[in-house]
Structure 1
Amino acid sequence: MGTEFHLKADAAAEAGPYVLDIDPEQAGWGYSSLRVLDLPPGGHHSFATGGSEWIVLPLSGGCTVRTDDGEVFELAGRKSVFAGVTDFAYVPRDAQVRLASEAGGRFALTGARCARRLPARYGPASGVPVELRGTGSCSRQVNNFGAAGTFECDRLIAVEVLTPGGNWSSYPPHKHDECRPGEESELEEIYYFEIEPSHGTDGVGYQRVSPSGRGRGTDVLAEVRSGDAVLIPDGWHGPSIAAPGHAMYYLNVMAGPGETREWLICDHPEHGWIRGTWPDRPVDARLPLYEAPAGDVR
């Protein structure tokens, strides 16, 4: 079901320098992009930003980011997505960028086609708002490093979500596939997954997307593993299910045609009632998995 929208890690090795390379042409939409890059110790990679803005986000390891405008950002990074919040770098459209990593690592390049050319900037880990969303078995952690209202971009919206094993996130199912001012924003979305290994096994998770009656009628029921991605051009998305014993991470990348950069969602009418039960339950005691480090914001 929906195999065109589920990109498996083992099929991504043909993406040139990237282990995953999703651009608007490939996805069949207009704005959102994601590239995942593995660098060996001492490795480097250069790319042109073209007509898109990008955030360089370490998934594991750290790197140096240099632009042709002379900006240099040292990203300390992190051991893994399950180990801590990371710093990041924003690079604008119409630029040349070089990444270099002394120790090696994996890096996400989250992108969106845009109109404005904003300045390159450093995003410190200490400035990333960490939010706990939902309660009970719907509890999850959201690292709002590139959320609307948190970090300035022209069109790009990007956040990280961490779901403890056995919990459901992206729940209730929701959509953002039409423009309804003040109620819903039209946003294309990419989910990139990593699953925390446990007891010698890599683990799996599950992702559901059901048709909303709009667009391409996206219909996905996918077993996802580390390195997989799911494309969501439209439809009700959720739940994202973490198998017991394996925490689930996903990186959300969103962009769309709206004049205002905002994330406005509409809950599925059959499942939105679950939000009303949250005030009566505690947040999962396993959360937060970690918090943003204290420190000065540059």
Structure 2
Amino acid sequence: MTSTENHLAAGKAAAGPYAVDVDPGRAGWEHSSLRILDLPPGGRHEFATGDSEWIVLPLSGGCEVSAQGETFRLTGRESVFTAVSDFAYVPRDETVTLTTASGGRFALTGARCERRLPARYGPASAVPVELRGSGSCSRQVNNFGAAGVFECDRLIAVEVLTPAGNWSSFPPHKHDEDREGESRLEEIYYFEIAPAHGREGIGYQRVSPSGNGRGTDVLAEVRGGDVVLIPDGWHGPSMAVPGHDMYYLNVMAGPGEERAWLICDHPDHAWIRDTWPDQPVDPRLPLYTAPAAPGEAPERS
């Protein structure tokens, strides 16, 4: 698939109340979904989860999420560049209501699933903040919905923050085969780019054919609100231009019995990992850390 088919510029993936609405039918695959919802102050939105499980993640602002007779109050955050957010998990076959007093922008990350797990609250203090890479490949990962961190049936979701001028999702890697050391996962990238000097930012995303699946081939200039669909292929780098930090939300799901993110590095670029121990992590990272749990001393950055 080409850049035109897989790169959805801001507004091109909008449908109904959603600024982004990507489901398996629209993406032409089987498992992963993403919706981005903007609500005004006093706004309310109701949706049916259908055959998918969902995590409601504030990108900006806070909200209340009601499901299974419970209401979870999400504090949220000012923006994806300022703080880790709390979140709520809601199961398949459920009606969910979001309400917000102050308004905000909310991501609904979804995956088709079999098990109906209970609705739950995820505190920001429990989100592991990981630093990956070093030097110009340094980036921050907020593992709010990672496998082994928060229980879901199929859904895997994380946030990645890349300081201005750095490359992330590097070395290029893939997860489009079920085999030893690799899992087959469809992936959605949703981007936000930090403005600077009164200007909106841009970044770049590369996906190259791996010889499996559809032959996905993307070289896209990405801006805030853009989406890139990755059904297969080597993906990376995600390039943050100088002066503008890059954020992307990754949503993944696949058919494997084990819920796991197992990747294969591109053989031409895997050597870069061997250089990381000899370089310092970018001193701009972390951009922020998870807040302390109630009763705990704040974490020092």
Q: Give the TM interval when normalised to the shorter protein.
A: over 0.9
Deviation per CA, 1:86-121: give whole Å up to 9, x if none: 000000000000000100000000000000000000
Q: Distance in 2 between matches of 1:55 and 1:288?
A: 24
Q: Distance in 2 between matches of 1:78 and 1:157?
A: 21
Counterpart of 1:17 in structure 2 is 17
Where 1:19 maps in the other structure, the secondary structure is strand
Q: Distance in 2 between matches of 1:11 and 1:223?
A: 15
Where 1:10 maps in the other structure, the secondary structure is coil
Which residue identity does 2:93 align to in structure 1?
D
CA shift for structure 1 position 296: 3.6
Instruction: Determine whether 1:229 maps to 2:227.
Output: yes
Which blocks of at least 5 consecutive residues in structure 2 are unaligned? 296-301
Which residue identity does 1:40 align to in structure 2?
P
Instruction: Determine whether 1:115 maps to 2:114.
Output: yes
Where 2:25 maps in the other structure, the secondary structure is helix
Where 2:249 maps in the other structure, the secondary structure is strand
Q: Distance in 1 between matches of 2:8 and 2:70?
A: 34
Q: Choose from 227, 235, 250 the match for 1:252.
A: 250
Which residue identity does 2:243 align to in structure 1?
G
Deviation per CA, 1:257-291: give whole Å up to 9, x if none: 00000000000000000000000000000000000
Deviation per CA, 1:16-64: give whole Å up to 9, x if none: 1000000001101100000000000000100000000000000000000
**CA contact 2:139–2:160 (8 Å) conserved in 1:** yes
Counterpart of 1:281 in structure 2 is 279
Matches within 5 A, 1:5-154: 5-13=6-14, 15-67=15-67, 69-154=68-153
Which residue identity does 1:4 align to in structure 2?
E
Counterpart of 2:299 in structure 1 is none
CA shift for structure 1 position 2: 1.6
Q: Distance in 2 between matches of 1:92 and 1:123?
A: 14
CA shift for structure 1 position 192: 0.2
- Structural RMSD (CA): 0.9
Matches within 5 A, 1:260-271: 260-271=258-269
Where 2:11 maps in the other structure, the secondary structure is helix
Counterpart of 1:240 in structure 2 is 238
Where 1:9 maps in the other structure, the secondary structure is coil
CA shift for structure 1 position 71: 1.1
Counterpart of 2:298 in structure 1 is none
Q: Runs (4+) of structure 1 moved beyond 3 Å?
A: none
TM-score (norm 1): 0.98
Deviation per CA, 1:192-234: give whole Å up to 9, x if none: 0000000000110000000000100000000000000000000
Q: Distance in 1 between matches of 2:40 and 2:220?
A: 30
Which residue identity does 1:37 align to in structure 2?
L
Q: Distance in 2 between matches of 1:12 and 1:280?
A: 42
Where 1:276 maps in the other structure, the secondary structure is helix
Q: Distance in 2 between matches of 1:177 and 1:100?
A: 37
Among all aligned residue pairs of Structure 1 and Structure 2, give the percentage whose two residues are the same amino acid.
Answer: 77
CA shift for structure 1 position 12: 3.4
Which residue identity does 1:97 align to in structure 2?
V
Which residue identity does 2:64 align to in structure 1?
T
Q: Distance in 2 between matches of 1:71 and 1:97?
A: 10
Deviation per CA, 1:230-257: give whole Å up to 9, x if none: 0000000000000001000000000000
Q: Distance in 2 between matches of 1:175 and 1:241?
A: 17
Question: How many residues were matched structurally?
Answer: 294
Q: Choose from 169, 181, 184 the match for 2:182.
A: 184
Q: Distance in 2 between matches of 1:205 and 1:121?
A: 34
Q: Choose from 214, 217, 236 the match for 1:216.
A: 214
Q: Distance in 2 between matches of 1:52 and 1:296?
A: 32
Which blocks of at least 5 consecutive residues in structure 1 are unaligned? none
Q: Distance in 2 between matches of 1:289 and 1:2?
A: 31
**CA contact 2:11–2:20 (8 Å) conserved in 1:** no
Matches within 5 A, 1:155-170: 155-170=154-169
